[in-house]
Structure formats: structure tokens, C-alpha cells
Amino acid sequence: MIAAVCIQAMAQTDVNEARIRDFYVSHVLDSLEGRDWLLTEGFLTDAFLAKAKERGMALTIVPMMMRDNEADAAWLSEVEAMNRDALTVAASLSPLVFARLWISDCPEEAVRRLALLVMPDVWTAEGRAAIPNQLVFLGGSEADAQKDVEKRFRDHEEFWDEVGEALMMTDGKETQAETAALKQRLRRQTSWVANNLGVALLRAGKTNEAFTAFTRAAILDTSNVSAMLNKVVLIKNGVRPELTQQASLELDALMATPPHPGLLWGLTQNCGEVAEPDSFVQFGWYWGLSGIPSIQGERWIALLERVPEADRKGVAGMLMAAQMGQTGGSDMLLSLVRMWKDPDGPFVGMPPKAFAPYIQGSLLLQQKQYAAAEALLKRSLEAGESYSALNDYAMVMVETRRFADAEAWARKAIALKADDSSAYDTLGLALEGQDKLDDALAAFTKALELATEEGNKDSLNEVQKNRDRLREKISATE
């Protein structure tokens, strides 16, 4: 009898898990409204693809975290099929870099084809509006974001009711962690999008509808700090004044047992945008500033001026981390891809497939991880020789005291580009390591001449230091 009850309970759990997964996956696909690329955090990839195939939908899943698996191979293959070298280079570095470059270089196409299940500020970072749509964020202009906003609100009210029914239908004692995790994911995703829809409604002057959206977001996910703050601001501004006391109690409770700092200092990515974070600066709740999208840097600066000087440096540091989190730290890599595209830039002539291993190897070289750097730089050179990769490979040889090899690779770099100081500096180090001191001094002198022409103070200082050190060494031996 007990065994039969346990089997029945397990079967019910399996049914609940399947129901909630199917609801989540189906409604994500519904939210796409014809888009065929979806940026995700890598969760339920197989389920999304299976459901799309069942519906006859074309769908490319771009998992935010690259794991060198079949899912990565699939979307990277789709990028290569686009036959656009810059996008191929961006994709080899990071899914977020790919998405941002696609949006910035081909905005109309990206808006038509791409949706984001995560990282909505990828849209805003590239000058587009992130439009909340049930479970995803579509892209568009600011005018698109305000268009038919009341109708979108009514459609979302119906959707929120469906979510509530789905959660109730599968409610009960959870016997599997996966079922509980699926339900929590549905709650948080729906709440996050609902909160940001509320911000859009507020900007359109639809105050009552915004209040409803914030309220529903807070009910769906009681840990959604952004939704609670947005709702409280509206109450303090005269919307539903009868709730003022309740709002004060909610704020007191939040401050008495605040959530994890990681949640508070990344509000836009964890909970959604905070419409009026400046309302909380006066209370010293500086983490409210992390609810401002990264594109609004000037607003952050203005609000930081209201932070007491003693706290300003610490708060600014946290805000910089929050801003990087909003775009997954993709800013530096995106700037490198744009440098690769520049016909006058430092990476001119580097083949697309050589770029990612070069960047990764170069970063590892800076971190003194020489074996790993050597393997990646070698892979880059196998994809196609370039000045930057040759010079860095020569530097690996210098750092691992293989000076004859370093000389050979540095001379290869110079043969490709004889008007840059870096390879001559590397050559000088390689020759010095072989006790070819006069030749090394000549190489450093040439490097100094070129560095002066380049006007790069960092390079100039480094070369000057190497030449002066070698001169002292020569003098000591005379």
C-alpha cells in the first residue's frame, strides 16, 4: 500500500514537472512573435528546440554561457552561414558580443529576428528599446516601446492569469527539486518582464496600469525588490494612498532583512528596472541606483553627487560592477571586435578564426599563464599568421627563456609590419637573452624611434626602460 502511494506521488510529480515545463517553453515561443533567434542562459535548450520543431518553427538558441558543446556548435554554425566575418569573430568571443554587434551593425534585421530571454540591457546598450513581451524582451525603437502599450498591458493581464493558473494547477507538496526550480523560474521571469512593462507604462503616463503591473510582479515573485520599490514610489506619489502604511511596513521589513547584496547590486538583471531610484538615495539605499539601465550613465553621475562624499567612492565602485553586469562584461570584447573591423586598426589582416584564440592567448600571456597562452596563440597562427599573434608568441618564448625561438618569431612579425615598435622591443629582449648585446641595443633603439613616432606613452616608457637597462648592462661589462 505504501509503495503504491509513493509510486502515485512520483507519477504526479512527473506530470507536474512536464506540465510546468511545457507551459514555460510554449509561452516563451509564443512570446517570440516570429523571431527565430533566442538568447538564453542555456536552460531547457533541448526542450525549446523540440517544441519549435514540433510547431514547424525555425529557431536558433544562443546560450549565454559557452560550454563548447552541441548547442554552441549549432548556433556558431548558423552564424558562419550568415557569411559576415565580423559577426563570426564576435560569436567566437562571446554570445553577448555577437548579439550586441548584430544589433549595432544590422539593427533592423536584429530587431526582426532576435529576442532576449536574459540580459535585456543588451538592447539598450546598443541604442534600442527593450520591449517586455510576456516572458522575453523584444527590441525596437522608443516609439515601438510606447506603441499600443495599453493593449499590451491588457494582453499581459490575461497572460499573468494564465501563469497563476498554471502554478496553482501544479501546486502541492514538491517531491522533486526540478519541479520547484521550474516553477520558480516561471515566477521570476514573468515577474521581471511584468516589472519592466510597468516602467514602460509609467513612462507613457499610464500610472494606474503601471501600479497594477508592479503589484502583479511583486505577487508573482515576492523577492522582486524592483517591483516592490516601484510600487511603493507610486503609493508615496499619491496612487492608492490607503496603502501608504502597508508600503512603509514592507520597506521596513526589507531593510530589517535585506536580500543578498548580489541581488540588490544588480537589480536590473535580477529583478528589473527601478523607475525612480533617486527616491531612495535620500534614505541611503544606494543599491537602488543599480536599477538604472547602463545606457543612462549621466543619470548615475547626477545621483552619485547626492551620495555623501565619504560613501561616494565605494558606491561608485559597486555601480561600475553593476553596469558591467548589465551587459555581461562584454564592453571590452566588443571594442576589440570593432578594432578588428577597423582597416587601420592593430588587427588588420588577422583571419576571423584566428582572432578569438589570439585574444584569449594574449590575455593569458598578461596573466603569466604561459603554457595555456602558447597553445592558444599557436592555434591562432595556424588559422592565419598575423603581426599581433606573431609578436605575442615571440613574447611567450622570451618569458619561457627560449630566446632563439623568440628571435625567429619576432623577426617574422617584423617582416609583416616593420613600422611598429612592439616587435622590435620583443626582438631586443630575445637578442639580449642570447647575449647579443650590441644587436639588442640596436633593436631597442629602433623600437624607441618607432614608439616616439607612434606617440604611445606606455610603449615609449617600456622601450626606454629596456634600452636604458641594457646600456647600463653593457657599461658594466666594459
Give the per-residue pLDDT at 258.
81
pLDDT digits (tens, 9 = 90+) for 392-405: 999 999 999 999 99
Long-range residue pairs from 203-212, CB within 8 A, at least 24 positions apart, any chain: 203/146, 203/275, 204/146, 204/149, 206/149, 206/150, 206/153, 207/234, 207/239, 208/239, 209/150, 209/153, 210/234, 211/239, 211/240, 212/153, 212/157
Looking at the domain assignment, is residue 143 inside a domain? Answer: no
Domain boundaries, position 410:
342-477
Looking at the domain assignment, is residue 155 inside a domain? Answer: no
Looking at the domain assignment, is residue 310 inside a domain? Answer: no
Looking at the domain assignment, is residue 400 inside a domain? Answer: yes
Give the per-residue pLDDT at 171.
58
137: β partners: 116, 132
Looking at the domain assignment, is residue 337 inside a domain? Answer: no
Closest by CA position to 295, among listed 349, 337, 331, 341: 331
- For cell 611598429, what's the residue? 420
pLDDT digits (tens, 9 = 90+) for 435-447: 999 999 999 999 9
Closest by CA position to 392, among listed 371, 406, 382: 406
Give the per-residue pLDDT at 478.
67
Looking at the domain assignment, is residue 441 inside a domain? Answer: yes
Give the per-residue pLDDT at 360.
93
CATH code for the domain of 407: 1.25.40.10
Looking at the domain assignment, is residue 284 inside a domain? Answer: no
Give the per-residue pLDDT at 170.
60
Low-confidence residues of the chain, pLDDT below 70? 1-14, 170-176, 478
pLDDT digits (tens, 9 = 90+) for 235-251: 989 999 999 998 888 88
Looking at the domain assignment, is residue 466 inside a domain? Answer: yes
Number of domains in the chain: 1
pLDDT digits (tens, 9 = 90+) for 6-58: 334 444 446 788 999 999 999 999 999 999 999 999 999 999 999 999 999 99
| C-alpha cell read off for 186 | 516561471
